[in-house]
Structure formats: C-alpha cells, structure tokens
Amino acid sequence: MRIGSRTLRNNLFVAPMAGVTDRPFRQLCKKFGAGLAVSEMVASNSLLWGSEKTRRRANHEGEVEPISVQIAGADPAMMAEAALYNVERGAQIVDINMGCPAKKVCNTLAGSALLKDEPLVGRILKAVVQAVNVPVTLKFRTGWDQGNKNALKVAKIAEDSGVQLLSLHGRTRACGFSGRAEYDTIREVKRSTRLPVVANGDITTPEEAKHVLEYTGADGIMIGRAAQGRPWIFREIEHYLSTGEKLPHPLVSEIHAVLLAHLHELYAFYGRETGVKVARKHISWYTKGLAGSAGFRHHMNQLETCEEQLEAVNRFFEQFGRENLRLRYDVELAA
C-alpha cells in the first residue's frame, strides 16, 4: 500500500490514541506487523510546542519509517505552521485530526467538532497541504450525530484539497465509543472517492478485519483499542489475510517477555518516575483475561518504582509455571 511516494509494508494501521501511541508503542506494533503507526495528537498551538509532552510526542528517534504525525486544531494558519514544524522534525506523513470526540478537544472546535463547519474543513486541509511537501492524510468520523452524517461531503472536500488518504471511524462524534461501529458509510465513501480509504472501528479479530475489508471495499484497516496490551493482533491479522488460517494465541511466556521489553522501553523513554505511571495501564491491558489479573492490577497500581513494578510482573507470571498456557480471551475486547 502507498501513501504518496511512501510504500507501506501492508495495509494495517495503528490508530492514533492520546496517551497510548507513543514511540515505544508504535515501534512495538510495527515490530508485530503494522504497516503504519500514527503518532499521538500534537496540538497546533505553538505556545505548547516547548512543553515536555509535545517534545516527547515529536520524538521519532530510531523509529521505523514511515513516520506519521497527527496534528489537531481549528485555525488553518496554525495547522499549516504545525504541519511544517513536525515535518522539520522528521514527520514524513502529516495526519489531520477531525475524528477525536473528546470534549476537551471538541470544546476548542477541533477534532470531530470541525465536521460541523465544512468550509473550515476545506480551509484547514488546503492550508496544510500547501504548507508541506509530504503526503497529508485525514482521520475523521461519519458526522456530528446520526442526523448529521456528512462523511461523503467531507471526503469530497478532502479529495479536492489534495489529501492523499482517508481514515474513517464508523461512528459519529455524538456516539463517542458507545454502541457498534457501522460500515455502510465507509463503504459509501470508498465508492465515492478515488482516494485510498482506511476503515476504523470495532475491528478486534482477524475474521472481523477480513469482513470489514470485503464489506466496505476499503484499502486498509485501522486498529485502535484492540491493540492495547495486544500488539500481536497485527501479526494475527496479517497472517490470516494472507493465508486464511488463524495463528494460535500467544503463549503466556511470550506475553511476559513482550511486556518486560515494553516496560524497559517506557522507563527509558519517559524516565523512571513518569515511566512507572505510564506503564500501569499497559500492564493492565497485557494481563487482562489471565487468571488472577484483577487482584494483581489493583496491587500493581500502588507500586511506585520500576524495580517494584518489574518484580510484581515477574511474580504474577511465575504462577503459570511450566504450563506455558496460551492466552484465552475470556473477556470482551474493545476495538
């Protein structure tokens, strides 16, 4: 699959998720087979660029190419400036956020709030495309609410503005992440545009990935929450799409090894104090569905040091001993 002049390994994308898709997570998903991992959202407000959070989000040192950075904002000039700022720091693809449903984003008229103002959508897209010499992509939703679904119009605006790929989440802004994603609108958008379309929303298994690709005609799929604590989902989907056969679930010993490596990357990336805090949610996701994980997560969240965290993780996995069980998903996994 290609985005402009960039050739991807495959058509499997990691969705940008605030507080999740940092460099360690992106690298891990790419290692397990993702063709592209989009960064956490970077604010277009230049006053925030000097913050530690923004500097960290703009850190792509050693990252497997291509590097895609998502920007968010509601002012065309500021968005153009933000795009250029990130390209100068290594971004090879600029993704524009018009899909985030979070109130703190929409209250600034950014994210999916932009879908209410189609002329502004056009001005932002044109400003960004004209500002940089790298491909520009758009992440958006089907509309503001069920009575105002304008994905077809937004797709046409994007195509006319020079955007080179669309990622569409099958929910409106009002839906948030509730209910089930619908794929009819994604299919309609794909049929109406010459642009590559990536389908997003509630894709949690290889079978669902195949179904969504076939039903919508989309060129690729984007995985978000289903990859949290489960980065091997890209390996599973890639194998199933190419062979029609399902890989067995990972051994508990592999989960343990992947988690330990991920923790060390988080400590190195964030520093020990912040790294421990960031690691808590990842540990919870990796251990979800394993015997005794509820009590373990409660205890683990009280720990304050890297050493305590690592010791607790090792102790938890020791209970499985030599059985080397395969992970069983006995809880519902969200997309």
Q: Active-site residue numbers?
A: 100
Residues 157 and 159: their CA atoms lie apart, in Å, by: 6
Residues 162 and 128: their CA atoms lie apart, in Å, by: 9
Residues 284 and 290: their CA atoms lie apart, in Å, by: 10
What's the longest Cα–Cα distance across the chain? Answer: 62
Determine phi and psi for 61, rounding to 5 degrees.
-55, 120
50 CB neighbour count, 10 Å cutoff: 8
CB 137 within 8 A of CB 93: yes
User: Please, is 293 exposed, middle or buried when counting C-beta atoms within 10 Å of its C-beta (0-12, 13-18, 19+)?
Assistant: middle
- 3-class SS of residue 271: coil
The identity of residue 303, as a single letter, is L
The identity of residue 145, as a single letter, is D
CB 156 within 8 A of CB 189: no
Residues 146 and 181: their CA atoms lie apart, in Å, by: 12
